[in-house]
Structure 1
């Protein structure tokens, strides 16, 4: 008779425990589900952040590559401009050189032609190829072209001597003329340079020009040019002097 209450008590406790345990289990299961969802959400956020970082890094690399490309493009344009300028300069120099070579060839042909017309004579001989004389007041202007038949080697060293023939005090006289300062600004302006203007030192060709002083009252008729080597006359040429108007 006494066992019935105890049995009922145990059943009640078992039922209560079973109900409580089920709630706990359900709570645990809910926690697990929620925890799994949170973990999944956390992992998703991390993966998105990683993808964002990778995209930003890729964009930064792309920006740096584009900047490097722009710099290289700028350098390329500068170098191409320099190349075009150098090419233009080179072509200009080549054209100038070709023109100079053509002029030199024509000059050599003309020289060969004139040498055939006017043989320079034996080896070492000197020729007066041109002598032009003009009077201006009490001055005589002269232009001379000399040629020497010689190859490259020892140069000829000598001087010019000018002798004028004319009338002075009613008589025909022949006098030596000295260099003078000419009327043009580019003419010789000092005595030392004037004295040196008669000196010669050349191998094959020599040009000379200048002014000669005429004595007061002297009326020149002709001018004789002597090429001196020391005191020896190597060659002479005479030119008539046209009277000024």
Structure 2
């Protein structure tokens, strides 16, 4: 006979269900992890972008600096060329100034010598003027004359002086009449200034010669030049005439001793 005992049913084992609080905590953790991953990715991307941008900017700055350096070098080269040009001009100017100074010094020396000679000649003229008898005011006198052979010509030096000086001065000309022999016959010829032609030959001049013999002075003047001697003519004496138009104002005869 079986005893009837009440059967006790044992419940089967089932997994524990997380509580809502635990589920919320786990969600926050996953959210934070995803957020960290995203932030890390963003940080890496930003760093890479920054480095790329910095590298680009460095290259751009390097390119600009190179262009500026090229421009500066070109500017410096141009300035150096200008400086060299200015130095060359300065050296040239210094040389010209040195030459001008030397020339001016030489001219001053010559001027001083000429002034000294002029003073000496004036003193001599004043002395000889006292020795000569006084003449009419404005009267002309041939104070000195000499001749010498010079190649095919006859060189002359004549010193003229006026007794006193009026306001008008004297305007006239010289005339040279030579007496001598030509082909065995005595002749008298008028001598003209010697003219040198382009081919090197010499000949007596005409119009130009008259201009060379013109006189225009106030108190005294010294005239000199070379007279042409015709071929075959041997001069023995020369008569110097001072003409005022067609009027003879003074005359002097010089015997040649050569």
Q: What TM-score, normalized by structure 2, do the two folds share?
A: 0.66
Report the Cα distance in structure 2 between the residues aligned to 1:211 and 1:12, rounded to whole angstroms: 152
* Count of residues in Structure 1 that have an aligned counterpart in Structure 2: 233
Give, in angstroms, the shift of residue 69 of structure 1: 1.6
Report the Cα distance in structure 1 between the residues aligned to 2:18 and 2:180, rounded to whole angstroms: 174
Which runs of structure 2 are paired with 1:39-54 in the superposition (5 Å)?
A: 39-54=46-61
Which runs of structure 2 are paired with 1:77-226 in the superposition (5 Å)?
A: 77-119=84-126, 121=129, 124=138, 126=140, 128=142, 130-134=144-148, 141-148=154-161, 154-164=168-178, 177-180=189-192, 185=200, 187-203=202-218, 204-211=220-227, 221-226=236-241
Give, in angstroms, the shift of residue 110 of structure 1: 0.7
Give, in angstroms, the shift of residue 195 of structure 1: 5.0
Give, in angstroms, the shift of residue 82 of structure 1: 0.5
Structure 2: tracts of 5 or more residues without a match = 1-10
Structure 1: tracts of 5 or more residues without a match = none
Which runs of structure 2 are paired with 1:53-92 in the superposition (5 Å)?
A: 53-92=60-99
Report the Cα distance in structure 2 between the residues aligned to 1:151 and 1:57, rounded to whole angstroms: 89
Flag the structure with larger Rg.
2
Please list the CA deviations of residues 93-137 of structure 1 after superposition, one character each: whole Å capped at 9, or x if unmatched.
Answer: 12112211210110111121022123374875555454233479x
Give, in angstroms, the shift of residue 91 of structure 1: 1.8
CA-based RMSD of the aligned residues comes to 4.4
Give, in angstroms, the shift of residue 209 of structure 1: 2.8
Alignment partner of 1:118: what SS? Answer: helix
- Higher relative contact order, chain-length normalized (CA < 8 Å, sep 6+): 1
Q: What TM-score, normalized by structure 1, do the two folds share?
A: 0.69
